[in-house]
Structure 1
Amino acid sequence: MSQDMTVIAENLVWGVRRRVIVDNVSLTVRQGETLGLIGPNGSGKSSLLRLLAGLKRPQSGRVEINGRDIAGIPRRILAQQLAFVQQNAATDTNVSVRDVVRLGRTPHRSALSGWSGADEAAVAKALERVDMADRRGQPWQTLSGGERQRVHIARALAQSPRVMFLDEPTNHLDIHHQIEILRMVRDLDLTSIVALHDMNLAAMFCDRIVVLRAGAIVACGTPREVLTAPLLRDVFRVDAAVAAVAGTDRPHIRFQPG
């Protein structure tokens, strides 16, 4: 596997005033892998995700993507390689689905270039991949929450990225759409790093999981290695029974009352 296709973070530190929010984090994400970030509220998941995507600059440490330190890559070039899907992404104006997805082509176009056949093909392919091609002309405001999130993923895909970052993409969606969105992300054949709140969803769809507490990594490994009853008690302060899903090596967490 080519080393220059990985995402590598080395000793990332970031904070606000005197509060350290990301505390000396190092990790590697392999090509094509789906890595989940989980942790209690305030553990630094969203901040780490933004550091990895180049949306924040670390106070120390570095992030390397495709073999290059992202601090030295111009923003427009970086946006051709990386895409970021935020939670509860909003679009106020009543534009069409196609118009929203067209925004993903911005990093690939100069100020003077017209809309090209390659741009149109990228938009069409992105809509197909999220199963929204038949809604291309539909007004944005008429979409459900799950449909809007799929369109935002399509906009990210229209960037033709090699790496996708998603910040709690299933937040406030019903369980059907949560599973649908994460299954789609897993099947995209991209390197994906996704911050998640639901540990069972992380267990179902992530190849590996990083557990954060107070900005630091306390565990990293496969869902089966990481999601254990002692860790859940220690990090999340909950009692749980953890069992393998029949026919798989994926764990399922059953939380205990009290």
Structure 2
Amino acid sequence: MSVVAENLNWGVKRKAIVLGVSLTVAPGETLGLIGPNGSGKSSLLRLLAGLRRPDTGRVEINGQDIAQVSRKALSRQVAFVQQSVATDTNVTVVDVVRLGRTPHRSAFAGWSEADETSVAEALDRVDMASRRKQAWQTLSGGERQRVHIARALAQAPQVMFLDEPTNHLDIHHQIEILRMVRDLDLTSVVALHDLNLAAMFCDRIVVLQDGAVRVCGTPHTVLTRETLRDVFRVSAYVDISPYHSQPHIRFSAV
């Protein structure tokens, strides 16, 4: 499914958070959102996923204005993985992942074999199948993040929005999670802090600055010394040698 945003504006009181953002995500593409803290990445993700309504502008998924789609119908197409979720409820890993099946079930429907298969496959994909009966409260931050992604996968979405999905993960699981997202047969938009991970796993990258799109393109065209200096205020060397399929960034002290 494609995602199209047209001139999105959103703010709180008199402060503009998202400012005139237009972008297109092609079916099956992985689009990265990068930018300094406070640049509007998380707010833009929520607008694209329909969790917030823009003050002006519109979002279309597969050619349909999401403002005209019911929340339940939209949740059959779209999954959102946020940075972290806290709960004091005594639940197990599999209980959390089963919540992903809610949009596909009616109020009186029983738990089906298809539901169980979706949950089992989602746990396998994030390497948490052996923890399915473990209590949520005993998980580490990284393990909880993997369970959140499993819940989203159990939802069987065609579009996935992920807000810093690699937070709290060790480097092995950072790479595994982003490789899995990239290889899924769906459209994905992912906000990331790590610029090298964005270069490795995103087909295209949008750089946000002060709520607006500064530049959009492939990692090679976006991740330049000039952009890193002007937007992120860092000095860096960008290796575009044939030994790297994507730009590799090395930061230097300033």
Partner in structure 1 of residue 183 of structure 2? 187
Mean Cα deviation higher: 242-251 or 116-125: 242-251
For 2:160, the equivalent position in structure 1 comes to 164
What is the SS of the residue equivalent to 1:254?
strand
Is 1:87 the counterpart of 2:87 in the alignment?
no
CA distance in 2, matches of 1:176, 1:244: 24
Q: Does 1:200 align with 2:173?
A: no
* One-letter amino acid matched to 2:53: R
- Is 1:118–2:110 an aligned residue pair? no
| 1:210-237 Cα deviation digits (max 9, x unpaired) | 0000111011011111000011111111
Q: Output the CA distance in 1 between the equivalents of 2:22 and 2:172.
A: 34
By how many angstroms is 1:246 displaced? 4.8
Give the deviation of 1:106 after TM superposition.
0.8
| Structure 1: tracts of 5 or more residues without a match | none
**Aligned residues of 1:210 and 1:221 also touching (Cα < 8 A):** yes
Deviations 1:78-116 (A, max 9, x none): 001000000023333232111110001111111111112
C-alpha distance in structure 2 between counterparts of 1:76 and 1:114, whole Å: 18
Q: Deviations over 1:33-67 (max 9, x none)?
A: 11100001111000000000000000111000022
* Superposition deviation, residue 143 in structure 1: 2.4
Q: Aligned equivalents of 2:52 and 2:92: distance in 1?
A: 31
1:68 match: 64
Alignment of 1:137 onto 2:166: no
The residue number in structure 1 matching 2:50 is 54
Gaps of 5+ in 2: none
- C-alpha separation in 2, matches of 1:149 and 1:245: 34
Look up the SS of the partner of 1:12 in the other structure: strand
Q: In the alignment, residue 52 of structure 1 is paired with which amino acid?
A: L
1:245 Cα shift? 6.0
The answer for the alignment partner of 2:96 in structure 1 is 100
Name 2:148's counterpart in structure 1: 152
